[in-house]
Amino acid sequence: MKEAKNIVRAIESAQNIVITSHRSPDGDSMGSSLALLRFIKALGFDAVVCHPDPCPNFIEWIKRGDKILDFETDETKVIECINNAELLFSLDYNALSRLGNGMGEVFDQASGQKIMIDHHLNPEDFADISVSEPTSCSTAQLIFELIDSSNNLHLISSLVAEPIYLGIMTDTGSFRFNSVTPRTHEIVAKLLNTGLDHSKVHEETFDGNRIDKLKLRGYAIAEKLEIVPERKVAILSLTMEELERFNFVKGDTEGLVNVALSVRGVESAVFLKETNSAVKMSFRSKGAPVNGIASDHFDGGGHKYAAGGVSYLEMDETIEKLKSVLINYF
């Protein structure tokens, strides 16, 4: 990473540092944020992590006592931190809209130096220093590259390694997506050499399921999974009523789109979840690009084989629209 030494110099010269990531935290946004925080602390400095909304229950454990402020529940404090920051990091997003309207506007108007580290396509030009690597499997991997390229590998303790591993593990589907490269495994080997308990990361992330979560996922698969055989596409949807019936909490539907994608003969999958204001959509594929359909029809985008979108139609209308445009992409 050619910008690594400049980034470390910026850390060393800043009095107030803020680390931000996107709405709806996931393993990579949490992992990269906490890995960078712990690296900054290892350098002898401090930072504040500010996210748009709270962490989902299933990865709450990764905090290990570190505090994360969120705009949804502590707006005043987050605004104060961002406005006072001399250095602001944007991790795992490359468009300010990913922070949400309120926090995105505050970030945009902040006077501090801005550094973006991200692996998504088509970055916006809002940062003073941009590290955009769409070929990287995760932003957490880029945090490792920052530490490595700045000659600070000796500062990667197991506490720093753990969130890096979490980010890589979750964004690669436990190392099965084609974004995994030999370099990814080289990095994981170095993380394991710190004493990282990788099996514990898997256990903490995937083996703490609530009964309601399992029942919701069972219902979704048994009752709501639909296959469009001529397009080799699986569609899985959940309405707000169905989510509430199973006492839904954030994180309960994480990875469901990959379950739909795992059906024999299916090459692409879409998961639709109804919220108060819209239908959120997740697209995944084993081969056919899905970022095009997300950006062309559902106000979204993302990676070639993993993308997101949104629809402001009712659920039934959204599914009907989705089916009508499948022929142009699959």
Is 289 in the same domain as 216? yes
Q: Which of 180, 206, 232 is the last residue of a domain?
A: 206
- Listed in sequence order, the DSSP H helices in the chain are 4-13, 27-42, 75-84, 101-109, 139-149, 158-171, 182-192, 198-206, 211-219, 240-245, 256-261, 291-297, 315-325
Nearest Cα to Cα of residue 118 among 146, 98, 90, 152: 90
Is 231 in the same domain as 320? yes
Is 155 in the same domain as 263? no
Domain span holding position 294: 211-328
Report d(CA 264, CA 283) in Å as an integer.
17
Q: Are the beta carbons of 288 and 267 closer than 8 angstroms?
A: yes
Query: Between the CA of residue 197 and those of 61, 186, 192, 201, what are the distances in Å?
Result: 14, 16, 7, 7
Q: Are the beta carbons of 128 and 175 closer than 8 angstroms?
A: no
Is 156 in the same domain as 245? no
> What confidence score (pLDDT) does residue 72 get?
95
Nearest Cα to Cα of residue 142 among 195, 96, 91, 99: 91
Query: Between the CA of residue 231 and those of 5, 178, 227, 267, what are the distances in Å?
Result: 48, 22, 9, 8
Query: What pTM was estimated for this model as a whole?
Result: 0.90
Is 191 in the same domain as 242? no
Is 226 in the same domain as 109? no
Is 26 in the same domain as 163? yes
Cα distance between the two ends of the chain: 36
> 222-249 burial by CB neighbour count: b if 16+ within 10 A, else e?
eebbeebeebbbbbbbbbeebbeebebe
We report the CATH number of the domain holding residue 243 as 3.10.310.30
Is 243 in the same domain as 109? no
Report d(CA 252, CA 212) in Å as an integer.
9
We report the CATH number of the domain holding residue 149 as 3.90.1640.10
Amino acid letter for position 104: G
Q: Please tell me whether residue 250 adopts helix, strand or coil conformation.
A: coil
Is 223 in the same domain as 137? no
> What confidence score (pLDDT) does residue 261 get?
95
Is 225 in the same domain as 238? yes
> What confidence score (pLDDT) does residue 169 get?
97
> What confidence score (pLDDT) does residue 221 get?
97
Is 192 in the same domain as 223? no
Is 190 in the same domain as 76? yes
Nearest Cα to Cα of residue 106 among 132, 83, 76: 83
Q: Which of 179, 206, 233 is the last residue of a domain?
A: 206
Q: Which of 206, 222, 237 is the last residue of a domain?
A: 206
> What confidence score (pLDDT) does residue 303 get?
86
> What confidence score (pLDDT) does residue 330 get?
86
Report d(CA 71, CA 68) in Å as an integer.
10
> What confidence score (pLDDT) does residue 301 get?
87
Q: What is the count of structural domains for the chain? A: 2
> What confidence score (pLDDT) does residue 139 get?
98
Spans of the chain, pLDDT less than 50: none
